[in-house]
Amino acid sequence: MFHHHEQDKQLTEAERDKLLSEGATIPGMVSHNEPTAADRRIWLVRVAVWFKDRQRVEFSEELDSLYQPAPGSPEAQRIVAARGGEQLRHPDRIPKIQLPLSDGSTVPVRYDEANRSRSVIDVPALQRRALHDYIEQEKRKQQPTAKKGASTGPPWVVPAHCPNCGAPVDQAKASREADPHCQFCTQPIPATPIAY
């Protein structure tokens, strides 16, 4: 049976904050996005969520497509540390990081279990993922190219269960991905190169 729910009215800031701290988590998929007419940096993002009982919920949300950690914050310090190895003119300048909001992208969602139409994009989790991906990208830039005979992935050896949320990992799929992530909590999965 297929149910479709549309979020009828916008949530207040207090309701959003409560959902972000207490709501259940589920992955959603960006079905459409476009910059708003008022501000090209603010995107109107449409998200579809499918629940195990085949109910589908769709909602739209406006959010800044760029994330910039506050100067001096732990997140900003992680970026500075990751970029410190490069010969940058201003390694302490904090770049703006593009959030992964393109059509088809998976985004973390928080929802009210009593009323699933009350759903929001888990922006803090999305920002953490974008920050992690950016730092990993910076680290890869700095790694010397692998010597002959040395092995890097993919393929990888990956665990059967996500160490973060305990969900089963599709090892066949994750072992071939460039940067394996849990399909449930979207956190990175530890991956070690296969030794030959």
* Owner of token pair 């007419």: 37
Q: Is 33 helix (H, G, I), strand (E, B) or coil?
A: strand
Q: Is the pLDDT of residue 1 over 60?
A: no
Q: Is the pLDDT of residue 86 over 60?
A: no
The amino acid at 62: E
CB 134: neighbour CB atoms within 10 A?
18
Q: What is the Cα–Cα distance from 46 to 149, expressed in whole angstroms?
A: 46
pTM of this prediction? 0.64
Q: Is the pLDDT of residue 113 over 90?
A: yes
pLDDT digits (tens, 9 = 90+) for 4-35: 445 546 788 899 999 999 999 999 999 999 98
